[in-house]
Structure 1
């Protein structure tokens, strides 16, 4: 059996990871971050898949990484402020299918996504820029209609609306 090549950080080499992307779904976490006005934090993606679209923060879960640890790492990397999974509301399980991947425009990507929502006040200028080159706070009704907001992000609106409705009761 061939052993997969890994980098010094424990990540698979690009060749090995390309084979994973080509043949298996990936598990990821997405975060609907809301401010006190109920607006959503969206970043304009600079990488494939979903390059150029406005999207919620998130990322892949690593092998042998608990969801708690992944949430802490991803929010630290994506928001500059680590957040505890225990302080988030679970929105549900989603599937994201993309016609492209981080490796090629003709290699599809399939994610199984666990989506969460939490509130946080952030200064947009202080956010990391390695995945998103710009950030904005979007009113939910606008992001639901705007063509530059990715459909996979818009798909979270019913769950967030239901969560907001129940918290008002």
Structure 2
């Protein structure tokens, strides 16, 4: 016998359709005691049967009242069941949507991760190059400083030599000037 896979509302409509008679069931579910069916829903049929046991039904009006009460309870229970099923289905759809979104975004997240890793690697390489360049510049600066200090001391030596030569030249010019005066006086 093939299994029916209809939604609960369709199954109830088919089960309670006009062509079927509702009778006593031999299934274990029908033999269970009255109480909670699940999801906080009370088994209304068992409540009505318990209420009617021992109470004789005297008129069709009372019976009609019981049937209407039963029908109202069944509708309320069905509405509550369908509401809970709809809520559950909505929640499942939301979860499925989130899952689909994560699957769609998976490639973008992988690309972002790859970009971040590349950026981190390039940053480390740039830092290493900057450190090497800084060390090279420091070496160049020290070399230039040594060169400048050597040139400063050479300039000082040249200035001292220049002063000595200027002194000698001044002395020679003075002596030349005196000789020239002496020579001119001796001619006169």
Same fold flag (TM > 0.5): no
Which structure exhibits the higher relative contact order, with contacts defined as CA atoms closer than 8 Å and separated by 6 or more residues? 1
Task: Return the TM-score normalized by structure 2.
Answer: 0.22
Higher Cα Rg, which structure: 2
- Name whichever structure is richer in strand by fraction: 1
With the length of structure 1 as denominator, give the TM-score of the two structures.
0.24
Structure with the largest fraction of helix: 2
